[in-house]
Structure 1
Amino acid sequence: MFLNNGSSILRPQSIVEMRRPVGDGLILYYSPNSADQLANVDAGLGWYWLTKNNGRRYVGHEGSMPGVTHSMFVNEKNNLGVIVLSTGDISSETQQSKETYETVTNIYMSLFECFDTDIM
């Protein structure tokens, strides 16, 4: 993680600690807007690892507040990242919130599918 022409902004030990999964793999991904079976997730300090059905693994973070949502994921194997910022609301238990969450997820997964080198 670098900024300012390659100057490190984090100590290597901090990066190792952020990437260390916690919970012994017992942390289940939960979405109040979905009854579907969701992917397995390992969580670190502020980051989590998402392994999809196709075996691809992504590290990232998602967040939302009323009226906004974001997703940021990286496929470290292929050195590829996607960030989606949206004014869509996923914080309520409405059909529109569920559709917004699915749309944001579809956008970033479509971008990975478009640019991932191991599927071209």
Structure 2
Amino acid sequence: MGTLEIFIPIAAIITFAVIISFITRLIATSMHHRTIREAMRSDPTSVPMLVQRLEARQPWADAMLGWIFIAFTIGIALLAITDSDASDRREMLRAAIVPLIIGITVLAFTHFAGRQNADMP
């Protein structure tokens, strides 16, 4: 199995996961904006609370993307372990490094960004 045969599905799954993440974030933001517009019409005093909620992003949204990459890495590693050809096994394990690094980076970013937001007044 060639390296290209491994990286094309990895790239497709990563792209799919990122697109789904952005679409869900877009839907959530549009729902918040609609709620703020309705609150401005009916009860303007509740708008500051809704704006704070809009500005405070859900920390699990980005963390979930990181966990998806790590789960994908585990799947590739398990597939590699069950392969009988040693060269294919090595190629798949090397390919599993990419989503692992991306997942760890996303989780580290959400961890440090959450800590930084908690320190702000």
TM-score by length of 2: 0.26
Q: Using CA pairs below 8 Å that are at least 6 residues apart, which structure has the higher relative contact order?
A: 2
Q: Which structure has the highest strand share of the two? A: 1
Q: Rg bigger for which structure? A: 2
Q: Which structure has the highest helix share of the two? A: 2
